[in-house]
């Protein structure tokens, strides 16, 4: 009985796991390019993308999106294809 509860608890924890897509600052990409990628790939509004670009510029990194692991990996791959530096955590 206790094993069933443990298994159900572990399954529920996996279902609620949220992954985060982190964008890092670089000296290569322009603000315009970063903003366009965040809008086109992550679905940000232009205002939200501008804010993220400023946070990245000033802080070195910014959590730009959260969601399921598969979705975050797909977005990360597309951002990397556009020469951005990202990580899924």
pLDDT tens digits for the chain (89 residues)? 455 655 655 555 555 689 999 999 999 999 999 999 999 999 999 999 999 999 999 999 999 999 999 999 999 999 999 999 999 99
Burial of 85 (C-beta count, 10 Å sphere; 0-12/13-18/19+): middle
User: pTM value?
Assistant: 0.81
Residue 17's pLDDT is 84
**Whether the Cβ atoms of residue 25 and residue 60 lie closer than 8 Å to each other:** yes
* Domain annotation covers residue 8: no
* Domain annotation covers residue 10: no
What CATH number is associated with residue 59? Answer: 3.30.1390.10
Number of separate domains in the chain: 1
Query: Directed axis angle between helix 69-81 and helix 31-42, to 10°?
Result: 140
């Amino acid at each position: 009985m206790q094993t069933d509860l443990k298994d159900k608890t572990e399954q529920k924890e996996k279902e609620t796991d949220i992954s985060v897509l982190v964008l890092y600052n670089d000296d290569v990409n322009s603000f315009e390019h970063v903003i366009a990628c965040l809008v086109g790939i992550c679905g940000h509004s232009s205002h939200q993308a501008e804010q993220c670009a400023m946070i990245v510029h000033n802080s070195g990194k910014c959590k730009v999106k959260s969601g399921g692991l598969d979705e975050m990996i797909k977005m990360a791959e597309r951002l990397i294809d556009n020469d951005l530096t990202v990580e899924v955590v």
